[in-house]
Structure 1
Amino acid sequence: MSIIFDRRSIRSYTSEPVSEEEIKYLLQAGMAAPSAMNQQPWEFVVIDDREVLDQIPEFHDYAQMVKEAPVVIAVCGNQEDLKFDDPEAAKNYMLQDCSAATQNILLAAEEQGLGSVWLGVYPRKKRRKDVKKLLNLPDKVVPISLVVIGHTNEEKEVNDRYLEEKVHRNQF
């Protein structure tokens, strides 16, 4: 539970690289996420080329920390071959599945002593378009989030976010 409670959004990174073993571990964690009907619609793009990384803050207002970070993982949903009768349901389950994968990556980063932050891409149309273009994503692949990863250059205190007034029992 400490991994869940200690995880914080980190926005300052050292220049120390993230190892291939660490990246693989993060991807394994992402792929261990639950998914509706076990469809596993996720696709991951590991971005570690500085020229590509430096383009992200040009179109994402909240991505300035990418200029310091050694790695970003783009979590994308592949709409190809989703087996749902309702296309709207397929899209919504894909979003949930990719969000679960994103959270798993964040928790695995915390476990490894790495800093991370979740940058939203979906549902912003311009961000989706810019990420698709930057990463040369096929038409059926939708960017959902960007997970910035690196060795932290800041310390953040853990805070208790539990609010009793947000808990309802049996009815709202």
Structure 2
Amino acid sequence: METMDALLTRRSIRKYLPDPVSRDLIENILKAGMSAPSAGDEQPWHFIIIDRHDLLEKISEIHPYAKMLKNSPAALLICADPETPKFKEFWVQDCSAASENMLLAAHDQGLGAVWIGIYPAEKLVTGIRDLLNIPEQMIPFSAIAIGHPAEEKTGRSRYEVSRIHDNLW
């Protein structure tokens, strides 16, 4: 898939077939996440592969907007170490870039995926940290539900000329 095609056709997919996602596909998605730009090349991220149904179900109970995890064969959790030495104030942007790369990689491989925000909602951060035994200094930032899509959505243009300003507002 060409880059612009991936960017313009990627959609949030929330319905999945029960088929498992292969470890090779998951590793490709993780490679894409780790290839994201980060401030000072600090790479403040850590990732948790979640493919146990009981954990996916519990996350869907903790997070009111993660109900699709009940029927997702897998999810990838992006966590941040906000104490990276040089550029710790940019970890949100860094993990956002990794999340977007992962969504595009999933789409490129024919998988469906959806971004599930966690940070900065403290109740969600704490609940998921406790459930998955994440060290206290690490912050669960976002999760990406992934699976073979059970729904098809076509790309749609989001280009909006009224939001473009030349040189000054």
Band of TM-score, shorter chain? over 0.9
Q: Which residue of 2 aligns with 1:41?
A: 44
Q: 1:150 aligns with which of 136, 147, 150?
A: 147
Q: Which residue of 2 aligns with 1:118?
A: 115
Instruction: Write the distance in 1 (CA, Å) between the matches of 2:85 and 2:76.
Output: 23
Give, in angstroms, the shift of residue 7 of structure 1.
0.4
Per-residue CA deviation, residues 91-140 of structure 1 (Å, 9 max, x unaligned), is 3x101000000000000000000000000001101000011011111111
Matches within 5 A, 1:52-131: 52-84=55-87, 90-91=88-89, 93-131=90-128
Instruction: Write the distance in 2 (CA, Å) between the matches of 1:68 and 1:82.
Output: 39
Uncovered stretches (5+) of structure 1, i.e. residues with no partner: 85-89
Q: Which residue of 2 aligns with 1:87?
A: none
Q: Which residue of 1 aligns with 2:159?
A: 162
Instruction: Write the distance in 1 (CA, Å) between the matches of 2:119 and 2:85.
Output: 18
SS in 2 for 1:145: strand
CA contact (8 A) 1:41 1:82 kept: no
Give, in angstroms, the shift of residue 17 of structure 1.
0.7
Q: Which residue of 1 aligns with 2:132?
A: 135
Query: Aligned partner of 1:124: which letter?
Result: A
Query: Aligned partner of 1:119: which letter?
Result: I
Identity among equivalent positions (%) equals 45
Instruction: Write the distance in 1 (CA, Å) between the matches of 2:129 and 2:33.
Output: 20
SS in 2 for 1:54: helix
SS in 1 for 2:69: helix
Q: How many residues align?
A: 166
Q: Which residue of 1 aligns with 2:11?
A: 8
SS in 1 for 2:25: helix
Uncovered stretches (5+) of structure 2, i.e. residues with no partner: none
